[in-house]
Structure formats: C-alpha cells, structure tokens
C-alpha cells in the first residue's frame, strides 16, 4: 500500500509537470509522476512532435527520467491530464505506457489517476494490463 503523503506529493508533482506539457497539436496537457526505489518522485510531461509518432507521453517521460538516474524499480505512477487551461479529467495511461510501467513496476503497481490532490482514483497495473507480455529471462 502506498501512503497518503506520497500520493499527495506525487499528484502535486504531476500537476506541476503538466504546466510544462508541450502539446501544440492535441492541446491535451499531461503531467505524470513516479515514485522510484530511491524515494525520489520523478515527474514528466507529454512532449509532442510534428511527426506525431515521435510524441512521448508524460508517464514515459517520468519513468525514463527515473531509469536514467539509476532507478529501475517504480513503486507507483500518478497521471493528471486534460485540455490545456482546463480542469483535468480522469485519464488512464495509453497502451504503450502500460507496457512500460510493466517493465519497471509489477502487477500490483498502483496507478493514480487524479483530477486534483483531493480527487483521485487508484487502479493496479494488473487491472489495466492483464496477462502482460514479459520475456522469459
């Protein structure tokens, strides 16, 4: 179980990161935060591209920041998203991000979908992505 103080800090970090969303094509601004094994909360925003396909979602930006700083274990993910300058709406991670969360989290990793620090829903990765693909190592 993830405690309320961490949830609060993660949502706060995701809300702040959302301010940096680079979304000139969709105008959908997303902020995310991950709670990494070292106790640090890494945040990220979506970064779009004129080629569309090169767009990076906020969740992956945050996860890749954590991993590139040496943290390969993610304990929780938070997402805050919605049209730019509007109140966020409950948004669940896209399929690619679910697969990336599965790479660095586990089936019980909580995914916090927040519209504010007071209003959020928590769902596990297992519910979002049952029967995940993993290479046998």
Catalytic center residues: 59
Number of residues that bind ligand THU (CB under 6 A): 15
How far is the C-alpha of 130 from the C-alpha of 50, rounded, in Å? 33
> Can you tell me which of 8, 20, 55, 124 binds ligand THU, judged by CB under 6 A?
55
Chain residues 68-107 in contact with ligand THU, contact rule CB under 6 A: 79, 91, 93-94, 97
Nearer to ligand THU, 85 or 137 (CB): 85
> Can you tell me which of 13, 15, 59, 74 binds ligand THU, judged by CB under 6 A?
59
Dihedral of the alpha carbons of 51, 57, 63, 66, in degrees to the nearest 10: 70
Choose among 21, 28, 90: nearest CA to 62.
Answer: 21
Instruction: Catalog residues that contact ligand THU under the rule CB under 6 A.
Output: 23, 26, 28, 30, 46, 48, 55, 57-59, 79, 91, 93-94, 97
């Amino acid at each position: 179980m993830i405690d309320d103080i961490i949830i609060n800090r993660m949502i706060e970090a995701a809300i702040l990161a959302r301010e940096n969303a680079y979304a000139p094509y969709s105008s959908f601004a997303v902020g995310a935060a991950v709670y990494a094994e070292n106790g640090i909360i890494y945040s990220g925003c979506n970064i779009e591209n004129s080629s569309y396909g090169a767009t990076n979602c906020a969740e992956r930006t945050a996860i890749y920041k954590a991993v590139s700083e040496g943290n390969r274990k993610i304990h929780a993910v938070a997402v805050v998203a919605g049209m730019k300058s509007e109140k966020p709406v409950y948004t669940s991670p896209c399929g690619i991000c679910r697969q990336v969360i599965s790479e660095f989290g586990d089936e019980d990793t909580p995914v916090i979908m927040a519209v504010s620090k007071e209003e959020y829903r928590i769902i596990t990765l297992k519910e979002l992505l049952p029967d995940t693909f993993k290479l046998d190592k």
